[in-house]
Amino acid sequence: MRNFGKLFLVLTITGLFASGFNARSQVEVSVGADLMSRYVWRGTDFGGSPSIQPYMEMSAGDFVLGAWGAYTTNLPGAQEADLYAGYSFGDVFSLTVTDYYFPMDDMSDDYFDFDSNHSMEVSGTLSLDKFSLLAGKFFAGADDKSLYLEAGYDFGLVNAFIGAGDEVYTTDGDFGIVNVGIGASKEIKLTEYFSLPLSGSVILNPESESLFMVVGVSF
């Protein structure tokens, strides 16, 4: 599995990059960070503290290659460093392969141990006007079974979402609703030339009976 993980990651990145990049594609690079009051992902709180979430992304045409992380401000906590590659088929559908890596203190030197420290997921997102549908399936690594589905709708002032999953997402492993909420965003104008993006969400996990309120700013 370790060699398979290395080979798959290399082939995926190389193949998607080759298909998305051509002489007419303009390569763009973006870098930034979010500061969130909590890192809540698909109805689960990771780390139990404020989270700094840096990212770096390169795009060329319809192809994107990026890295994203989440680091708690109060240790110990769950840390995360992900790599992803994606391809968009117009404005309607996108396909993404993500390598989730969790560098805890006792395994930070075992990056290439794909059996224990990584989980790999393939996901697709369908976007139709204000409606979106996400399907994500883990297929290799520490988690090679979990399935997650999420539907969202943008009402303008707020967006609403509902998500369900099985295996790692629920306490008994059965498929259940784990992520229900609404979110909103605005920009705080600080100067004539600079505004600070602010976002917030109220999230309920019916399966674990947990409620989260999250707010964050982007840089």
Residues of the chain below pLDDT 50: none
In this predicted structure, what is the pLDDT of residue 174? 95
Coil, helix or strand at residue 109: coil
Structural domain including 175 reads 2-218
Q: What is the dihedral of CA 50, 162, 89, 11, to 10 degrees?
A: 60
Exposed e or buried b per residue across 117-133, where buried means at least 16 C-beta atoms within 10 angstroms of its C-beta: bbbbbebebebeeeebe
Q: What pLDDT does 126 receive? A: 98
3-state SS assignment for residue 25: coil
The structural domain count of the chain equals 1
Instruction: State how beta strands 80-89 and 63-72 pair.
Output: antiparallel
Q: What is the pLDDT of residue 12?
A: 60
Kindly report whether the global pTM for this prediction surpasses the value 0.85.
yes
pLDDT of residue 109: 61
What CATH number does the domain containing 29 carry? 2.40.160
As a whole number of angstroms, the distance between CA 176 and CA 17 comes to 36
User: Tell me: the pLDDT tens digits for 102-155?
Assistant: 886 555 567 887 777 889 999 999 999 999 999 999 999 888 899 999 999 999
Identity of the residue numbered 164: A
